Amino acid sequence: MKVKFQWDGEKIKQIATEEEKKYSTKDILNALNNVRSQLNQMQQQKSQMEQQFIQLETNIRSATVHEKELAGFENKCIELQKDKLKFLIGKISKECKEKAETSAAEIIGKDPSAYTDAQKKQIPYLNYQRLLATNEKVADKISPQIISKYLFDEPIFDDPFKD
């Protein structure tokens, strides 16, 4: 490729001219072979993707059937898990409350000026929630989504620190 520069009014333009190229018969045959090989690879990839798509559709149908079979048990399972959670909270509440008060006092004691009065009142409750959720008995017997919903989002226990 040849490149020339020329003035074009107030600007300089670049002119690039292609040089003539000659290909041998061998070059053409090699290029055709490469293109055909690439086409073949792309066809194989397309075929694999189609097979994967068919398998994915089959898996979706199977999972949908499985989900429908299990969904019939969901409400009863939730109620049983809530009842078990309430029972466990009753058993571990006193211990968790004491630990929550102790750890809150330690946290606040490290830097009392770092917290507002509202935050200081809230820390024991937050520690209590966390201790309930991470208690070994609760973690082993209660589903994570039940823990999340009924200990944090919609607590099923009374705040033991309310005045």
Tokens of 160: 């033991």
Grade residue 111 by pLDDT with cuts at 50, 70 and 90. confident
- Residues 129-138: pLDDT tens digits? 999 999 999 9
| Predicted structure pTM score | 0.66
Calpha distance 162→95 (Å, rounded): 17
Tokens 């040849």, residue located: 2
CA distance 17 to 32: 27
3-state helix, strand, coil in the chain (%, to 5): 75, 10, 15
Per-residue pLDDT for 58 more than 90?
A: yes
pLDDT digits (tens, 9 = 90+) for 22-42: 989 999 999 999 999 999 999
Q: Is 120 helix (H, G, I), strand (E, B) or coil?
A: helix
Structure tokens that stand for 76 in this block: 């009863």
Residue 146 near residue 83, CB atoms below 8 Å: no
pLDDT, mean of residues 54-66: 98
- Compute the mean pLDDT over every residue in the chain, rounded to the nearest whole number: 93
